[in-house]
Amino acid sequence: MKLPRPQILWCILWVLFISIAYSDAGSGMGTFLFCYGITMVWGVTWLIRLIVYAWRSWRHVAMEHKSAAYWAVEPLAFILSVIITGSGALFYLRFMASRPALASYVQSVTVPEDLSMKWVGLYVIRETELLPGGTVRFITCESGLDDAGFAFSPNSSPPIVGEDSYSKLQFAEGWYHWHRSW
């Protein structure tokens, strides 16, 4: 049995959307709620369809037989999106693909604070700060409450301002994942 094209297209688009949304330095609450809501509606709809199909099959109602692949493609798309986001592989790939552009951007920052939005590599830089000691940090994801981005501090750990937290990127010397909490 061939799978319906809309079902395959939906699964592909969902995996792509999740992969892009969760490959940034962080994800906003709006993105989380949107993804959670869509996943819940999609999952409940799939489960209702499966229950109706099983009930009709049990009652021997004349209908088209659907293969295991038909019922497995949507849960597999969900599992694949969870694995992709949980592994951090796309975060790594996106950062590494953008690293030359980010390094060039960091070298060009000369003002203490630049609030203009711009594309640098595969990221939208929303806010940039130049701190003492040559540390440059910038926000790539805003959620309204907490923001996330990167910091480049070649000589030492970046300074903690307010409730900031940093985690060193093991695959990029001098780079840190920056989480700013209000």
Residue 127 and residue 152 in contact, taking contact as beta carbons nearer than 8 Å: no
- Mean per-residue pLDDT for 34-39? 88
User: Which of the residue ranges 1-10, 33-42, 84-93, 104-113 would you say has the lowest mean pLDDT?
Assistant: 1-10
Residues 157 and 116: their CA atoms lie apart, in Å, by 26
| Shared-domain flag, residues 100 and 79 | no
Question: Higher-confidence residue: 161 or 43?
Answer: 43
Amino acid sitting at position 162: G
| Shared-domain flag, residues 129 and 149 | yes
| Shared-domain flag, residues 43 and 119 | no
Name the helix (H) or strand (E) containing 135. strand 135-142
- Mean per-residue pLDDT for 80-100? 91
**Which domain range does residue 138 map to?**
94-181
| Shared-domain flag, residues 102 and 83 | no
| Shared-domain flag, residues 174 and 130 | yes
| Shared-domain flag, residues 25 and 72 | yes
| Shared-domain flag, residues 130 and 156 | yes
Question: What pLDDT score does 95 carry?
Answer: 95
Question: What pLDDT score does 54 carry?
Answer: 87
Contacts of 40 (CB under 8 A, 6+ apart): none
Residues 23 and 91: their CA atoms lie apart, in Å, by 4
| Shared-domain flag, residues 15 and 68 | yes
Instruction: Please give the mean pLDDT across all residues of the chain.
Output: 86
| Shared-domain flag, residues 101 and 127 | yes
Residue 27 and residue 92 in contact, taking contact as beta carbons nearer than 8 Å: no
| Shared-domain flag, residues 83 and 100 | no
| Shared-domain flag, residues 103 and 162 | yes
Quick one: pLDDT band at residue 8, thresholds 50, 70, 90?
confident
Question: What pLDDT score does 148 carry?
Answer: 92
Q: Which of 87, 122, 151 is the last residue of a domain?
A: 87
- Cα-to-chain-centroid distance, residue 113: 26
Mean pLDDT is highest, among 56-70, 92-106, 168-182, for 92-106
Q: Which of 40, 65, 87 is the last residue of a domain?
A: 87
Q: How many domains does one find in the chain?
A: 2
Residue 167 and residue 176 in contact, taking contact as beta carbons nearer than 8 Å: yes
Q: Which of 87, 118, 153 is the last residue of a domain?
A: 87
| Shared-domain flag, residues 162 and 115 | yes
